[in-house]
Amino acid sequence: MTVVVIAEAQFTEQGAQDFIEWSKGDDGYVITRDFDGFEHIETWLAEDNKTILLYELWSSKEKHQAYLKFRTDGGLMDFLGPRLEGEFTVTYLAGAD
């Protein structure tokens, strides 16, 4: 069953732009889209130009968690860390109807 993933990150203004550019590059969503269990991703920028929400669809929570481990082990947090102003959170949602 498909799971909805909402990831939220509080960046600096420049950090948000850096992330958006990264997502379009060869190390960004190109890799995400090829990962086992991936179905869909959208990037949303809040009016403050700092908060980014990722709306993702994955085949399971476990597949997404494997993806996060892959990205973390690959150094993504080294890239994100200096650009963040606040927390990076992940919420999993399942259909309620």
96 — pLDDT class (breaks 50, 70, 90): confident
In contact, 59 and 37? CB cutoff 8 Å: yes
The reported pLDDT for the residue numbered 45 is 98
Position 95 pLDDT exceeds 90: no
In contact, 62 and 10? CB cutoff 8 Å: no
SS3 content of the chain, % helix, strand, coil (to 5): 40, 35, 25
Position 62 pLDDT exceeds 90: yes
Query: What percentage of the chain carries pLDDT values higher than 70?
Result: 100
Q: Where do the domains of the chain lie, and which CATH numbers do they carry? A: 3-92 (3.30.70.100)
